[in-house]
């Protein structure tokens, strides 16, 4: 069931409303101060992959579980083990790339 989030223009409180379908009419009333001066917020379900869902994957379990390869801490594991397997030293450029990716820095400009 879709959830719409509205921000109250009077008290800035955020209220969530379940709607039966995307096209349902909704007359949102602030759950904090009963104001009807509400402004629709973008809900995560309509934005696809959000920063929030990325962070949820941080707690993903061990290799093979869903989310493992979305976990920045696991980036480059396969590359590392391949170099280890053949007893080779990993070139510094690859090492740097993996470390940068693992730092998990969120690219600027995603904060909607
Ligand atoms: Zn309010």
Express each pLDDT in 37-68 by its tens digit.
999 887 555 444 444 444 444 444 555 666 66
What is the pLDDT, as a whole number, of residue 107?
A: 57
Per-residue confidence band for 2, with pLDDT thresholds at 50, 70 and 90: confident
Token representation of residue 99: 């470390």
**41 φ, ψ (degrees, to nearest 5):** -105, 155
CA 37–ligand 1 middle distance (angstroms) = 8
CA 25–ligand 1 middle distance (angstroms) = 20
- Rounded to 5°, angle at Cα 16 from 66 and 1: 55
* Spatial strand order in the sheet of 38-41: 14-18, 3-8, 38-41
CA 6–ligand 1 middle distance (angstroms) = 10
**Domain edges within the chain:** 3-46, 51-102
pLDDT(35) > 90 = yes
Q: What is the pTM assigned to this prediction?
A: 0.37
Q: Quick one: which of 53, 56, 11 has its CA closest to 36?
A: 11
Model confidence over 96-111: pLDDT tens digits?
888 888 887 555 555 5
Token representation of residue 93: 């450029």
């Amino acid at each position: 069931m879709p959830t719409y989030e509205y921000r109250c223009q009077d008290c800035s409180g955020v209220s969530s409303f379940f709607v039966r379908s995307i096209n349902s009419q909704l007359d949102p009333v602030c759950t904090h101060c009963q104001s009807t001066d509400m402004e629709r917020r973008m809900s995560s379900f309509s934005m696809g992959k959000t920063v929030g869902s990325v962070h949820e994957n941080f707690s993903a379990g061990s290799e093979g579980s869903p989310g493992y390869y979305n976990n920045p801490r696991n980036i480059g594991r396969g590359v590392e083990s391949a170099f280890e397997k053949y007893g080779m030293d990993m070139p510094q450029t690859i090492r740097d790339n993996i470390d940068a990716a693992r730092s998990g820095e969120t690219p600027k400009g995603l904060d909607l």
